[in-house]
Amino acid sequence: MPMEPRILSAHRPVSLVLATLIALGSSLGPAAGPAAAFPSYDSGYHTYEELTSAIRDIEAAHPGLVKVSSIGKSHEGRDLWVAKVSDNVATDEDEPEVLIDGGHHGREHLSVEMALAVLKHLTSTYASSESTRRRVNGTETWILFNLNPDGTTFDGGGSTYRDWRKNRQPNGGTSAIGTDLNRNYGWKWGCCGGSSGSPPSENYRGPRPWSSPEVAALKRFVDGRVIGGRQQIRIHLSFHSFGRVVVWPWAHTGAGVPDADDRAALAAIGNEMARLAGYRGMQSHALYPTDGDQIDWMYGGHRIFSYTVELADRRYPPDEMIATETARAMPAVQYALDYASCPWSAIGRGSVHCPPSWVKRLAGSDRYATAAAISRASFTPGVPVAYVATGTNYPDALAGGAAAARDGAPVLLTQQGSLPSATATELARLKPGRIVVLGGPSVVSEAVRSKLTGYTGGGVSRLYGADRYATAAAISAAGTPRGISVVYVATGTNYPDALAAIPLAARTDSPLLLTQPHSLPYATARELDRIRPGRIVVLGGSAVVSDKVLDRMRVYTAGAVTRIAGEDRYETAAAVAVPFPAGLEATFLATGTAFPDALAGGPAAAKHGVPLLLVTPSSLPPATAGQLRRIKPASLVVLGGLGVVSDEVAAAAARAAR
Ligand code: CA
Ligand code: CA
Ligand code: CA
Ligand code: ZN
């Protein structure tokens, strides 16, 4: 253990100091050995053990509001405690989340006291204060009390402070201890002269991003708050000391964040929190440049409105200041909680960025989980049949989607060689009467088909042909009676037209057949010949299904062969929606630029008897807006995560629908 001159200058005999340090070092864990204490004049600060007890006592006194867990362990094995504060705290409710942390830097003990003060405030005033109840009930607040318990314990563990900032992780090849946790984040790590590459430095960034177990644990926790394609944490406050300032990203550059509304809202919230506390507010870089720091990763990696709050006006505020300094900053915390549901409302742009509550997003961590989420939202256990298609291409899922819609059944997705856990979980919930695999063994293996038999009592069958056209024909042949009133035909070379057609096809229990743009596949022609439908409806304009192909189909019906088409996929989907009446319970929205998140949407929309419209990831096409204005659905169902349909597009759709 390295000795520093100030430790040896303590008034106690050197031998006793050494013995104490050796004892501390050998115990290397909070559970064993004597608890480290603060210098006697500052005993009002909480040691790690006292903090742990205080948190546990508050949890025990408010079991419905506080739930304590550990996000991981420090280098020396101390638990990194986090308390979740909310009504129905045991349930992960769909409420905006706020993260508050303290203790990045060992010697900044007031930051840990502030985190504890927030927990005390929210719980002790819950019964008496209407505004506290609103904040607690309306958000899920995570309080990570001390990210660096090894550093704070070491700093406060003597008769006087050790002025220790970093964690207590050894560095290979040197006796220098510790990494500056707030330079160890993997966003612009070490980019810009705002940290040190030298282990003895107070600002040592570590050998690589996330190298400290404490920061790595925080990363796992924050990454884990991405649920249903959305980061749940909207606002983050990191308490440090000192300076009485509130700062926001970026820290690594003097440039503001690129998005103009984000830039303005970051500043508006930061400045107001500063004003409420009697602090100064500024962009972090203006205070001093740092890189690899927490708030840049929070915003850059997760678009969390992230703030560093430097408490107090001196490095070691005496414990007499704990109550006054934490009370002084509390209004800033209250303000952050008030704006967590939509930070952009601080600049009057809430309706642009935050969809109203009647917009529901169905999404998972990947295409399989998204399909499962879509199924879960629309289908109840005991469905007669579930269809399972490959998630790596669209034709089978879409042709099967029309059959599923007819049967009141979902489409779930699988990998070729293994059944994704999200799909398995949903099948276990659905308990389908039987399962139909769409496609041959080259797209859904025999191993997967065999595994599926465990999720139904009614057996697992396959429908497939030699190619996508023959597979669509086989799906149709399995359930379409001769002489059905109408058959829909879409291109097999892209997905949007076929996807949008499913809810319309479901109204007449019609099949969806596929065609090449310039020639009618033999399997499609043969199935049309078998059915001899009353009429045929082609999706899309002549660029996607040529007039020649349309003419070729005339021999298979005594009725008309017509098109539902627009200038592009968005207009075509809007045209498909025209037969649906206004005042529907919902309308589904999917991206028109990537199929994976949309594949399961057709049967779900059909189940509700509502259309499916298309958007781009970043804009609401006019034709889509026009149908939303006409239909005025009571709710919107968005398929997929923020990457395929942004909140801004969902919010624009909501405005069009009202
Ligand atoms: Ca004192
Ligand atoms: Ca709650
Ligand atoms: Ca939640
Ligand atoms: Zn700090």
User: Which pLDDT score, from 0 to 100, does residue 159 have?
Assistant: 80
User: Which pLDDT score, from 0 to 100, does residue 4 have?
Assistant: 35
If you measure from the C-alpha of residue 97 to the centroid of ligand 2, how many angstroms do you get, rounded to a whole number? 10
**Active-site residue numbers?**
310
The helix, strand and coil proportions of the chain, stated in percent and rounded to the nearest 5, come to 40, 15, 45
User: Which pLDDT score, from 0 to 100, does residue 157 have?
Assistant: 75
Contact of 452 with 377, CB cutoff 8 Å = no
267, containing H or E segment: helix 260-277
Nearest ligand (C-alpha, residue 293): 4
In the numeric block, which tokens belong to residue 327?
A: 């009370």
User: Which pLDDT score, from 0 to 100, does residue 35 have?
Assistant: 52
- Residue 250: asked if its preceding bond is cis (omega within 30°), the reply is yes
CA distances from 75 to 36, 183, 221, 405, 532 (A): 17, 17, 17, 54, 73
Type of residue found at 605: A
In the numeric block, which tokens belong to residue 49?
A: 């053990």
CA dihedral 86, 88, 94, 97 (to 10 degrees): 20
If you measure from the C-alpha of residue 87 to the centroid of ligand 2, how many angstroms do you get, rounded to a whole number? 4
Nearest ligand (C-alpha, residue 87): 2
User: Which pLDDT score, from 0 to 100, does residue 25 have?
Assistant: 40
Superfamily classification of domain 16-353: Zn peptidases (3.40.630.10)
User: Which pLDDT score, from 0 to 100, does residue 3 have?
Assistant: 34
Residues with CB under 5 A from ligand 3 (ion): 92, 140, 232
If you measure from the C-alpha of residue 314 to the centroid of ligand 1, how many angstroms do you get, rounded to a whole number? 15
User: Which pLDDT score, from 0 to 100, does residue 449 have?
Assistant: 98
Nearest ligand (C-alpha, residue 287): 4
State the Cα angle at 177 between 173 and 178, rounded to 5°: 115
Residues 6+ apart with CB under 8 A from 378: 410, 603, 604, 607, 608
The domain limits of the chain are 16-353, 359-657
Residues 6+ apart with CB under 8 A from 47: 35, 36, 37, 38, 153, 156
If you measure from the C-alpha of residue 236 to the centroid of ligand 3, how many angstroms do you get, rounded to a whole number? 15
User: Can you tell me the distance from the alpha carbon of 159 to that of 10, in angstroms, rounded to the nearest whole number?
Assistant: 7
State the DSSP string of 138-205.
Answer: H-EEEEE--S-HHHHHHHHSSSS-----S---B-TTSS-B---GGG-SSSSTT-SSSSBS-TTSTTB-
Q: Residue 290: what are its φ and ψ, rounded to 5°?
A: -135, 160
| pLDDT mean for each 10 residues of the chain (658 residues) | 34 40 42 63 95 98 98 98 98 97 98 98 98 98 98 89 97 96 98 97 98 98 92 97 98 98 98 98 97 98 98 97 98 98 98 96 94 97 97 94 97 98 98 97 97 97 96 97 98 96 97 98 98 98 96 97 96 97 97 93 97 95 98 97 94 97
If you measure from the C-alpha of residue 277 to the centroid of ligand 3, how many angstroms do you get, rounded to a whole number? 28
CA distances from 82 to 30, 116, 460 (A): 17, 11, 46
CA neighbours within 13 Å on the CB side: how many for 376? 20
Among 101, 125, 543, residue whose Cα is nearest residue 294: 101
